Structure 1
C-alpha cells in the first residue's frame, strides 16, 4: 500500500541512515573484526595497569569478537533538534506514568520509608526518576534496548572518536564492577551508551554512589529495586539535596513585566508580583530561586530552588529536571499544572494515544508498539495518514486525527 510505504519510509529514516553508516564497518568484515580484536588485546594492558585483573578482563571479553553495529549506528546518528515542550513532557508525564508510580509507591512503601529516612530524599522524586530512566524497570526486559555493557563501551572506545575517552574510562569502571562481584558478565547489561540498571547509572557513577540497600552483599541496581532507588537517593543526597524542600513552584507572572536574570529570594520575587499559580503562599521565602519558562511566557512558568539543581546532577537538562519534578508532584497527589503547555491541538489521554497507534496500524500506517509514546515512527504514520485524507500535515497526536481514524 502506498500509505504504508510512505509511513515506513519516514519512520525508518534513522534506521536507513544508520545502516548506510554500518556498511563502513560491517560485522562480517575480517578487517574490521581483526582491528577490533587487536584493540581489545591492546587495551588489556591498560586495564591491568588500572587495577583490573587479567582473569576478569578475559572473562568479560569471552565471546566478544566484533563491535556492536547497533551502538555504532546510534553513536553516529544523533540528530540535534529541540522538541517542543509539550512533546517532551507529554511522553513522560501522563496518566499511566502517574498511576504506575502510585502503584509502585504502595508496593515498595517499606523500602521507600527506609530509603527516605536514611538519605532524606523525597520518595516521589525517586519514583519519578525510576519512571524517566527505565519506565519502572520495563526497559530492562527489552532485548532490543538492553545490550552488553562491556561490548557497547568497547565498541565506542574503539570506533567512536568523539566518545572514545569517555567510553574507555567507563569500560575500566565496568570491569571493576565485574571484579567486585556485584554482578556477573552475563547480567552486566545497559543502554547502547553503557547506562545500567533500573535507574540507569553509568559505571563511574555506580562506583561513586551504588548502595547495597537490601543487605545481600551486592550493590545490584539491575535486579534489586531497593538497591537501585537507594543508589539514586545517595547521588542526590551527596550532591546537596535539602530534605523537606520542594524542587520548585509553578508561578504566575504579572503581564508585561520583565524580570532580572539570575537568582533572588522567593521574598524578592514575590515583591515583584510573582505569585504561586495555585494561589498558595510560598514556603521558606528566604530560599533563593531562579525563573524558568521552558515554553516561553505563554506557557507555564516556574521558580526553581536548590533541589532543582540537584536533580540536574542526575541529568543536566532543565526539561529533564522539570519532568521529574512535575511527575513526582503528580504521583504524590499534589495535582498537575495550572497553566498547560502551548499545545497547538487537543491533547489525547495516554489510552487515547495507544488507540491512535492501534488505529493507524489497522489502517496500514504504523507497525510499532502501542505504547502511547509518540516517537518518530508514530509521527511519520500520522503525517502519512494526514496526507492521505487531506488534513494539515503536522504529525501531531491530536484528538482531531483520532476522530478521523474512528470514522474511517
Structure 2
C-alpha cells in the first residue's frame, strides 16, 4: 500500500513538473523580449542602428538555454563542474602531436600559396607569417570550420543570462552595428557558441576595432576574404603590442632552484640572468644572442608537471587574442613547427582528475588563506598556479604549482 502511494505521488510530481515547464519557458521568453526592447534597443538606437535592422536581427530568436555559462532565473551564480572550453583542458590533448603537426603541415602549404600576400602583411604590421597562419588554423581550420550559430541568438542569450552580462551586452550592440554599417546581412551573421565571428573568430567589438580591408574592395570581410582575414589578425596583434623582431618564447629546462612561483607576465627577468641561474633551452640549444639582454618571463602551463618555457612579451600579446596559456602556446609552437622545429621535448605528466568546480572550491580556500588567485573561476591561471606553489611551500608539500587532491586535503 505504501509503495503504491509513493509511486502515485511520484507520478503526480512528474506531471506537475512537466506541466510547469511550458509556463517557465513562456515566462523566460517574455522576459527575454522585454530585455531586448527595454535595454538593447535604446543602446542600439544610440549607436545609429535602424529599427529595421534591430527587428530583423531578433525575428524568431529566443533565449537558448543550452548555451554554457548561463545563470538561469532562480539558479545559483557559480561555475559549471565541467569545463567544455578546449583551451582550458589537458595540455597533452590540446597540444597533441596530431593537432600540431596537422596544422603546421597545412600552414606550410598555405604559406607557399599566399607568400606574397603574407610578405606584404608582415611588412605593414610587423607580425611574422607563421604566427598569423597558426592563429588562422587554430580559430577556423584555415577558414574551413563550420560556424553555424545565429550570432544574435547567442549574444542576446548571453547578454540576458550569462555570468558576464555587461560584456555580452556590449558585444550584442556591436553585432547590430556591423549589420547597420553594411558589412553583412542579418542572415549572414553566424558565430561560435561564444559569439565570435568569421575566420579569425573576432568578437563583434574587436571586428569594429581591428578588422581591415586589405584586398581593397571596400568591405572588411573576415568571412570570405583571405587577405582581409590574415591582415585583420596581424592588425589585432600589432595593436595589442606585438614586438617586431622578437620570438614568442622558448622551451626551456628550468631547475628546481628557480621556483615555479616566479612565473607570470608581471614578473620580468633579463633572459641572460635566467641563464646565469641555470635556465637553459632544451636539446642543447642556446638562446639567441640578441635575446639575452631582453626581457623574459617564466612559464609553467602545467606547473612542474609539464613542459616549461621562457616566454617573451609576445606570448602575452597572443593571449590578448585568446586568454589561455595553452592557446598561446599552441600558436607559438605551431609557428615554430611551420619553420621546421620539432615536437616539444618536455612531457605532460599525468595529474589528478579535478573538475572545474573542484578548482573553483580550491581557489576559494586559497583566497580565504590570503592568496591572490586572480579570478575565482575554476581555471588554473598563472596567479592560481603561483598561489598553489606558495601553499605547497607553506604546508611542506612538493612544489608543483598545479592543483592536486593532496593540496585540497591539506587546505
Q: TM-score, normalised by structure 2?
A: 0.70
Shift of 1:91: 7.7
Cα pair distance change 1:26/1:103, threshold 3 Å: farther
Q: Which residue of 2 aligns with 1:221?
A: 222
SS of the residue 2:326 aligns to: helix
d(CA) in 2 for partners of 1:128 and 1:154? 31
Q: Which residue of 1 aligns with 2:32?
A: 36
Whether the 8 Å CA contact 1:178–1:185 is kept in 2: the answer is yes
Shift of 1:330: 0.8
Whether the 8 Å CA contact 1:93–1:327 is kept in 2: the answer is no
d(CA) in 2 for partners of 1:119 and 1:23? 59
Cα pair distance change 1:271/1:29, threshold 3 Å: closer
Q: Which residue of 2 aligns with 1:84?
A: 90
d(CA) in 2 for partners of 1:168 and 1:289? 37
d(CA) in 1 for partners of 2:318 and 2:312? 11
Please give the residue correspondences for 1:130-141 in structure 2 after superposition, counting only pairs within 5 Å. Answer: 130-139=136-145, 141=146
SS of the residue 1:312 aligns to: helix
Q: Which residue of 2 aligns with 1:114?
A: 120
SS of the residue 1:250 aligns to: strand
Q: Which residue of 2 aligns with 1:53?
A: 50
Cα pair distance change 1:202/1:79, threshold 3 Å: farther
Q: Which residue of 1 aligns with 2:101?
A: 95
Q: Which residue of 2 aligns with 1:18?
A: none
d(CA) in 2 for partners of 1:91 and 1:115? 29
Whether the 8 Å CA contact 2:254–2:278 is kept in 1: the answer is yes
- What 5-or-longer segments of structure 2 have no aligned partner? 1-17, 72-78, 352-411
- What 5-or-longer segments of structure 1 have no aligned partner? 1-21, 345-408
Whether the 8 Å CA contact 2:140–2:200 is kept in 1: the answer is yes
Cα pair distance change 1:108/1:69, threshold 3 Å: farther
Shift of 1:178: 0.7
Cα pair distance change 1:286/1:183, threshold 3 Å: same
Q: What is the alpha-carbon root mean square deviation over aligned residues?
A: 2.8
SS of the residue 1:124 aligns to: helix
Is 1:127 the counterpart of 2:130? The answer is no
Q: Which residue of 1 aligns with 2:154?
A: 152
Whether the 8 Å CA contact 1:209–1:235 is kept in 2: the answer is yes
